[in-house]
């Protein structure tokens, strides 16, 4: 399997000629969806979900299918019967040849005065994208796509979450808001306090084979 990191929270997975894309939001290059067979969206915030770009990709590719929560699906009304599937905690399905399981229900709390929105994480053949939550799946995770910086988190929580998931490896996700100095601080902390998970930050456009 080939994993390509796009900007911020977007990741593209390729295997056996099929392509699955997670969270191609407004901060990421829309070419992440070029040739995609399936798209998974964790929640409705713009850095994870770009409605216009996703509609454009769906119109350009009639075979594209989308899995997401009900709130996002409602915003994609009109794409055609069967193209958008609503999923939630505990659901399992196959998308573009990948086995996927849904974990979690809610976005992490940013502030008590802001209403919570639904958020579903996706475990894709051992790779977990939690969206904007620190959900710990009840199944083993080989590769954690780790949200390293967000308005709803702090560094101690990121480290504790990494240890709780206990994945073999982690790649930085949700990192557009950090400078190189900030990214270095995250890497140092994870190396010191979460040494059992090999942490790497891929630059946008970089890829690895898993």
pLDDT > 90: percent of the chain: 97
* CB burial readout 38-60, b (16+ within 10 A) else e: bbbbbbbbebbbbeebbeebbee
C-alpha 79: how far from chain center: 22
38: nearest Cα among 13, 24, 20, 26? 20
The pLDDT tens digits for 65-78 are 999 999 999 999 99
The reported pLDDT for the residue numbered 80 is 81
**Residue numbers of the chain with a pLDDT score lower than 50:** none
The pLDDT tens digits for 126-141 are 999 999 999 999 999 9
The pTM (predicted TM-score) of the whole model is 0.97
Domain of residue 101 covers: 2-209
Mean pLDDT of the chain: 97
The reported pLDDT for the residue numbered 198 is 98
Distance CA 193, CA 114 (A): 32
CATH number at residue 91: 3.60.15.10
Number of domains composing the chain: 1
The pLDDT tens digits for 197-209 are 999 999 999 999 9
The reported pLDDT for the residue numbered 42 is 98
């Amino acid at each position: 399997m080939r994993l390509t990191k796009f900007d911020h929270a977007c990741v593209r997975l390729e295997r056996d000629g099929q392509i699955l894309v997670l969270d191609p939001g407004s901060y990421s290059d829309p070419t992440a969806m070029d040739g995609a067979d399936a798209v998974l969206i964790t929640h409705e915030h713009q850095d994870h979900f770009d409605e216009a770009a996703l509609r454009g990709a769906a119109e350009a590719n009639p075979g594209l299918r989308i899995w997401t929560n009900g709130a996002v699906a409602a915003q994609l009304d009109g794409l055609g019967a069967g193209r958008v599937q609503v999923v939630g905690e505990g659901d399992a399905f196959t998308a573009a040849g990948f086995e996927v399981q849904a974990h979690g229900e809610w976005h992490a709390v940013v502030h008590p005065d802001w209403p919570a929105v639904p958020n579903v994480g996706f475990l894709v053949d051992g790779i977990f994208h939690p969206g904007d939550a620190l959900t710990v799946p009840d199944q083993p995770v080989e590769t954690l796509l780790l949200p390293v910086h967000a308005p709803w988190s702090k560094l101690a929580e990121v480290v504790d979450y990494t240890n709780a998931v206990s994945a073999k490896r982690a790649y930085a996700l949700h990192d557009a808001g950090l400078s190189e100095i900030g990214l270095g601080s995250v890497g140092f902390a994870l190396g010191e306090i979460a040494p059992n998970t090999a942490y790497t930050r891929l630059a946008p456009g970089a890829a690895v084979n898993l």
